[in-house]
Amino acid sequence: MGVDITGILPTLYEHFTSQGIESGLSDAQSDFKLNSKPLKIFSGALHYFRAHPLYWRDRLKKYRAAGLNCVETYVPWNIHEPEDGSFDFGEHPDRNDFSLFLDLVQFLKIAQEEDLFVILRPGPYICAEWEFGGLPSWLLRHEDLKVRTSDSKFLFYVERYFKKLLALVEPLQFTKGGSIIAVQIENEYGNVKEDDKPIDIAYLEALKDIIKKNGIVELLFTSDTPTQGFHGALPGVLATANCDKDCGLELARLESYQPTKPLMVMEYWTGWFDHYSEKHHIQTVEQFYANLSDILMGHASFNLYMMHGGTNWGFLNGANICGATDDNSGFQPDTSSYDYHAPLAENGDYTDKYVQLQQLTAEYNELCISQPAPPEPTFREIYPEIDIIGELSLDDLIKQAQHVIQSEKLLPMEKLDINNNSGQSYGYIVYRKENIDIQAGSTLKIEGHVCDTVIVLINGKLVSNVFNSEEDLNGFGYWRAKDSLLNLGSENYQSATLDLVVENFGRVNYGKLYQFNQHKGLWQGNVLINDRIVSDWKIIPLEFKKKWNQTLTDWKTPTFLNGPRLYRAVLTIDSEPQDTYIDFKGWNKGVVIVNGFVLSRYFKIGPQQSAFLPAPFLKEGDNEILMFEHLVPGTFIDFCGNPYFQTMGDGRILRTLLC
């Protein structure tokens, strides 16, 4: 009802709990009731793992100031159990680079402090354009395990994880004095439906039983797109809708499925995510206003997906795929930026959609409660460009590698016996063949598809092609080509060292069940030279974990030669650090690492052309910034104050400043 500056109006929690708590969220009638009082849910998604924890409170304050009364979040299994049986909910920064982001309990408590209820979506599969849809890659070490099914082997790991997770959130349910008012079962399970096969209802029932057995008493629900069918729903469990247009039609179909239940759009898509090589997705303010108005005029509750997108830190972007994953030709990796063209930008800025949201929530809000004023915008600094002062070649990195595995045959990264027998999840894997003779004019062949990119070197010199245009994605070195061929040049080599550097560009997060075969590296066939199989490999994982990144030594004077190299620069800050962006102009493809933490991928094909760098990743004094460049390096690192998105065509890069 507007901003309350007098303190006369009650808070959200005061309104619903001042006379005690007797019941949670109810769907037993056509409109939601919470503790027997009517509630229209105005919610927005905020993934705690996509925002720096020091900014959680700022973002949540902005949610409440927009008129929202609820925040929704997923829970990513893969970073909460990074190794088989090893859990992290913020306790292990010494072992897990992402531990910083994982204090879910603290996030849920801050949400309550900021006068917001919580919708929790624990998975085990979350999609979310997140690596492997939140599933841990070590599951792939079990050849006969079938993810997202009632397979007992899969459910064993799910139940073990949920027992740990739900024990933490169980005391934070609304009816126990906490913030959680609803919990989702799986995620968009109706989308696994194949025309000739029923979905695995036993799987959903098993998840429901596990959730209840572990003390969850709040309202359970599922979410799917109603016009695609009612496949992912469970009898007696509230179904909700996902859509970004024709929301009235989706709600009408939902109402036809469950005519006596409240209507809710669990995901109103406020924008969309970007794949590399696409243009940046934009949903206009007019479209946003019209769609959200349709939902509100339909007397439905809503959750904005996303209200604030945030960032796919490190190597944790997901991907889409067309066809089976072992084909990989339809692979579409997501960018590190998850801006989503949401009402709050990746950097936390207010947008025109935010203003429209404030107007709509004020118009349709039925609660007479206080609403805070929006926090002040965050200042950003444009730091001066810094020169590259050090370089490590691929061979230098391998000399400092933590693991070198001898193997007669090629292995995917998940099958490496490292990380407490959990395999390699992220980063790069190098297949090295030593003491090999290569005749002039020889042809290298990689059978099947590369998962996902490959760089070829002989004696440390790049022999594969430099990326210049989108057309190059169809040729050797990238995921689209099958049984791809590379001419190794006109030189004769004696006792040479052949290196194949393969990148995991993000496991697929969405699709049919047969598309969840997610092995990364070279695993679909042999590597041949002149049709003769190459065997007896050294396999070296390059995971770029923070502890390793910070202990690298023997930096050389930069040569700026083409090929995979790690470059070092130092940003000196003589005052309190501020948010900024790293500008990728002049660089080709790779990752940027700030004070040991892998911040973002970059790829000149776009659309993302800069990386958001929050101030908490920086410190007063010297800050080490590393660029692991695949192909053609820049000679300096530049900064900017706003995000750039780009499109690439005819060899030209067109840069667009998104303010």
- pLDDT for 651 equals 39
How far apart are alpha carbons 462 and 123 in whole angstroms?
Answer: 43
Q: What is the pTM of this model?
A: 0.96
Q: Residue 299: name the closest of 265, 268, 267, 271 by CA.
A: 265
- 267 is annotated as an active-site residue: yes
- pLDDT for 323 equals 81
Strand order in the sheet with 532-533: 484-487, 443-446, 527-529, 532-533
For residue 203, the surrounding DSSP H or E stretch is helix 201-213
How far apart are alpha carbons 133 and 326 in whole angstroms?
Answer: 17
Report the half-sphere exposure of 92 (CA within 13 A, side-chain side): 11
Q: At 451, is the secondary structure helix, strand, or coil?
A: strand
User: How big is the chain by its Cα radius of gyration, in Å?
Assistant: 25
Give the single-character DSSP code of 635: S
Q: Residue 112: name the closest of 9, 13, 31, 232 by CA.
A: 13
Q: Residue 427: name the closest of 538, 316, 274 by CA.
A: 316
> Which CATH number applies to 386-390+550-640?
2.60.120.260
Whether the Cβ atoms of residue 257 and residue 231 lie closer than 8 Å to each other: no
69 Cβ neighbours under 8 A, 6+ residues apart: 12, 39, 41, 42, 43, 115, 116, 117, 367
Q: Residue 184: name the closest of 308, 300, 306, 267 by CA.
A: 267
Characterize 612-651 residue by residue with b for buried, 16 or more Cβ atoms within 10 angstroms of its Cβ, and e for exposed: bbbbebbeeeebbbbbbbbbbbbeebbbbbebbbbbbeee
pLDDT in tens, 124-177: 999 999 999 999 999 999 989 999 999 999 999 999 999 999 999 999 999 999
Q: One of 81, 83, 267, 629 is an active-site residue; which one?
A: 267
> Tell me, which fold does domain 12-364 have in CATH?
TIM Barrel (3.20.20)
- pLDDT for 656 equals 46
Q: What is the dihedral of CA 338, 339, 342, 345, to 10 degrees?
A: 140
Q: One of 72, 114, 129, 188 is an active-site residue; which one?
A: 188
For residue 168, the surrounding DSSP H or E stretch is helix 152-169
pLDDT in tens, 15-72: 999 999 999 999 999 999 999 999 999 999 999 999 999 999 999 999 999 999 999 9
The two structure tokens encoding residue 532: 């003769």
Residue ranges, comma separated, of all CATH 3.20.20.80 domains in the chain are 12-364
- 188 is annotated as an active-site residue: yes
- pLDDT for 4 equals 53
Low-confidence ranges of the chain (pLDDT < 70): 1-7, 647-659
- pLDDT for 647 equals 54
Residue ranges, comma separated, of all CATH 2.60.120.260 domains in the chain are 386-390+550-640, 403-542
Beta bridge partners of residue 485, listed in sequence order: 445
CATH classification (class only), 403-542: mainly beta
- pLDDT for 195 equals 85
286 Cβ neighbours under 8 A, 6+ residues apart: none
Whether the Cβ atoms of residue 315 and residue 98 lie closer than 8 Å to each other: no
